[in-house]
Amino acid sequence: MRNTVLKATFMAAMIGISAGKSMATDYKKNPFTLVYDGAITKNEPGKVNIHPVTYKLNGLDIVANVYTPASYDPKKAYPTVVVAHPNGGVKEQVAGLYAQRLAEQGYITITADAAYQGGSGGQPRSVDKPANRIEDIHGMADFITQYAGVDAQRLGLLGICGGGGYSLAAAETDKRFKSIATISMFNSGRVRRNGFVDSQLDTIQDRLKQASEARALEAAGGEVRYSGDANLTDEQIAKLPFDLYRQGYEYYWKTHAHPNSTFKYTTSSLLDLMRFDATNQIELIGQPLLMIAGTKADSLYMTEDAFAKATGTKDKEFFKIEGATHIETYWVPKYVDAALSKLTPFYARTLAK
């Protein structure tokens, strides 16, 4: 068990942030609607390629992107990594960035829009239930292990933000995943139940009543109520109490905006979210585990809590990126490089032949 800290300066991080704000990406300018820096614009021989795919999961159409490494040969066998996106995110954002970067290291990767979200099927839109998100991860494994060139015995999992919490839950029982890594893990159940940084403990019962009323309204054929959606001004964003939310609005609504990405979720989803916890039975994870988070992330407490409770594996590492906030691990080049500097040897070791 190791606790590693990567040194970086706060000033350098601020320079990176300023540069990112001035270079907002436009999904309309990419043929695959990718919105991250360095994204693939066309498939070329001898380079990493992207393959949009669609498959069925419990009767729903799931849209995904498969990335294949340079000089991909479907007759060969490649280690493969499933990448689960953040809450409200889609495959064209940070999940695509890490999927592409891992493909550059020789992995086949897949990242899919969650059911009921993004470009995937399901009604009503923006249902955000833990069981669905966990099933999405199992479903990506189902599909990609049948893909030409995939070595099903060398399958890894990477979860980012909310996808990190759901990846922990999926890996508890799905032993097809030989190793698991998370970046800026977000325990969706804990936050929806207790509030961010446990700031809403005194309103749990009131919010559960609101969720119950929303469920009843849906069952009666009424309107679908939503939570988490807001059109905030720059001034309002600046007044938000947490870096995660301030920088999250900047990332999702400005610099890396995508029309399929939204903060909102059905209020009735809270009936499931508020009784979920990503650390429940986390001791069932016996596979190698790598957890990555920034030292300045106000969500850091969730990774710390999960890492301490993951007692079922002795092969685990908690890697802290000095100076990084939660959202900065999504796109700031030096922090992405830092995360990959740990992911690359981790998967090379745990997914070796």
Domains of the chain: 2-187+230-263+277-350 (3.40.50.1820)
Contact assessment for residue 55 and residue 83, using Cβ atoms and an 8 Å cutoff: no
Kindly state the tokens that stand for 10: 């706060």
pLDDT of residue 212: 98
List residues bridging with 67 in a β-sheet.
Answer: 50, 109
Average pLDDT on 273-284 reads: 98
- Integer distance in angstroms from the first to the last C-alpha of the chain? 23
> What CA–CA distances, in Å, run from 239 to 189, 201, 236?
25, 22, 5
Look at 1-15, 44-58, 213-227, 319-333 and tell me which has the smallest mean pLDDT. 1-15
Does 11 score more than 50 pLDDT? no
Q: Which residue has the higher pLDDT, 65 or 22?
A: 65
**CA gyration radius for the chain?**
19
Does 19 score more than 80 pLDDT? no
Contact assessment for residue 43 and residue 68, using Cβ atoms and an 8 Å cutoff: no
For the chain, the average pLDDT equals 93
Find all residues with CB under 8 Å of 148, minimum gap 6, and list them. 74, 75
The pTM of this model reads 0.93
Residue type, 74: P
Percentage of residues in the chain with pLDDT exceeding 70? Answer: 93
Does 13 score more than 60 pLDDT? no
Q: Which residue has the higher pLDDT, 63 or 3?
A: 63
Average pLDDT on 36-46 reads: 97
Helix count (H) and strand count (E) of the chain?
A: 12, 11
Name the residue among 194, 170, 175 with its Cα closest to residue 305: 194
- State pLDDT tens for residues 46-59: 999 999 999 999 99
Confidence class for position 121, pLDDT limits 50, 70, 90 = very high
- State pLDDT tens for residues 129-186: 999 999 999 999 999 999 999 999 999 999 999 999 999 999 999 999 999 999 999 9
Does 9 score more than 70 pLDDT? no
Q: Where are the alpha helices (H) located in the chain, listed in sequence order?
A: 10-22, 94-103, 130-144, 162-173, 188-194, 204-219, 234-238, 243-250, 270-273, 300-309, 328-331, 333-350
